A and B are shown apart, each in its own frame.
Chain A
Amino acid sequence: MGTVFANPGIVMLSQSVNIGVDGYLKYEVFGQEVWITTTHIAMWLITLAILIFAVIANRVIKKADPYKAPKGFLNVIELMVETVDNLTRTNMGEKHGYKFSNYIGTIFIFILLANLGGLFGLRAPTADYGVTLALGLMTFCIIHYNGFKYQKMSHITNLFKPAILTPINIIGEIATPLSMSLRLFGNILSGTVLLGLVYGLLPKVLLIVIPSFLHAYLDVFSGAIQTYVFCMLTMVFISNTFDEE
């Protein structure tokens, strides 16, 4: 088992405190060293959980009787779908909202489960910059796809509108996915680092009591808020492309 952060600074620390990404399996692609890390394993587990949930939900929905009031598990699924639909409709307008509820719901469930991964003993996958950068770039692509779809060529010419501000506009467009991904990454990583230090610091007896409060704040509260913020920012940036005709 090797550490990806190959750095003499961490060697002394890493005996008792483990906050980095651990690599498990090394292989080579085009001469590059590539590792299967804790992030991959946590993401496979999360994907598996979502898949199982989706299959069960599909079974339940297919069997459902539309003339009866929903109950039990079906009620929970309907609540989730309605919540996401309401969220997109209020933030993106009645006309466009429903088209994006699929994407928003997907990234909402994924990021929420990834942030809660710290509760189940995994290293939260969103504390790895590769994951959050991918999420940010997905949002970036959707923003600009919709920009070209609804504003045609003025999506490009808007960049040069006040001619003096052209560089600032371009930097602003590039900074959007960077700041979104850094925000998610930084928040979850700060929780991971703090919990790792606390776990390394405390004696074995106290480990049951004290970290639970920190888990409640750093994993559940902060993770849920960051999930909400990521989805809200995605919706706000996408709906900005609708207005200007």
Chain B
Amino acid sequence: MITDQGLVLACSAIGAGIAMIAGIGPGVGQGIAAGFGASAVGRNPGAKGNIMSTMLLGQAVAETTGLYGFAVAIILLFANPLIGKL
């Protein structure tokens, strides 16, 4: 027999897993940024410092969307707002 609370907890865990699919986007984006950074260093090795800092900044900004998904997953697991609605 599944209780109401158990159902909500189980669905929250599944939802947290689905929310982490958001990690795909930043992974692809950071990979593309790193690839272009590598080719830029290959073309102009003297500007390695500037390219590195620009690449890291861009990657950090691209990471934000994945972190929103992570925040949703963490809220569903540890500060579940749905339990209180029962």
A residues with CB within 8 A of B: 5, 7-10, 20, 179, 182-183, 185-187, 189-190, 193, 225-226, 228-229, 232-233, 236
Q: A233 — which chain B residues lie within 8 A by C-beta?
A: 57, 60-61
- In the assembled complex, the CB of B50 is this many whole angstroms from the nearest CB of chain A, namely 9
Q: Are A193 and B74 in contact (CB under 8 A)?
A: yes
The answer to the question of B83 belonging to the interface, with a C-beta cut-off of 8 Å to chain A, is yes
Q: Which residue of the partner chain B has the closest CB to A228?
A: B56
B residues with CB within 8 A of A: 5, 9, 12, 53, 56-57, 60-61, 63-64, 67-68, 70-71, 74, 77-80, 83
Q: Are A229 and B56 in contact (CB under 8 A)?
A: yes
Q: Which residue of the partner chain A has the closest CB to B13?
A: A9
CA distance A140 to B34 in the complex (A): 29
Q: Are A9 and B74 in contact (CB under 8 A)?
A: no
Q: Are B71 and A186 in contact (CB under 8 A)?
A: yes
Q: Which of B9, B53, B63 contacts A9 (CB 8 A)?
A: B9
Q: Are A183 and B64 in contact (CB under 8 A)?
A: yes
Q: A7 — which chain B residues lie within 8 A by C-beta?
A: 78-80, 83
Given contacts A9-B9, A9-B12, A9-B78, contact A186 B70 (CB under 8 A): yes
- In the assembled complex, the CB of A240 is this many whole angstroms from the nearest CB of chain B, namely 14
CA distance A187 to B61 in the complex (A): 12
Q: B9 — which chain A residues lie within 8 A by C-beta?
A: 8-9
Q: Are B67 and A20 in contact (CB under 8 A)?
A: no
Q: A182 — which chain B residues lie within 8 A by C-beta?
A: 64, 67-68, 71
Q: Are A20 and B64 in contact (CB under 8 A)?
A: no
Q: Are B80 and A183 in contact (CB under 8 A)?
A: no
- In the assembled complex, the CB of B68 is this many whole angstroms from the nearest CB of chain A, namely 7
Given contacts A9-B9, A226-B60, contact A183 B67 (CB under 8 A): yes
Having A7-B80, A186-B67, one finds 9 other A-B pairs with CB under 8 Å, namely: A5-B79, A7-B78, A182-B64, A190-B70, A225-B56, A232-B53, A232-B57, A233-B57, A233-B60
Q: Are A179 and B56 in contact (CB under 8 A)?
A: no
- In the assembled complex, the CB of B59 is this many whole angstroms from the nearest CB of chain A, namely 9
Q: B83 — which chain A residues lie within 8 A by C-beta?
A: 7-9
Q: B5 — which chain A residues lie within 8 A by C-beta?
A: 8
CA distance A186 to B26 in the complex (A): 13
CA distance A236 to B53 in the complex (A): 12
Q: Which residue of the partner chain A has the closest CB to B76?
A: A9
CA distance A218 to B80 in the complex (A): 26
CA distance A190 to B80 in the complex (A): 18
Q: Which residue of the partner chain A has the closest CB to B77?
A: A9
- In the assembled complex, the CB of A186 is this many whole angstroms from the nearest CB of chain B, namely 3
CA distance A185 to B71 in the complex (A): 9
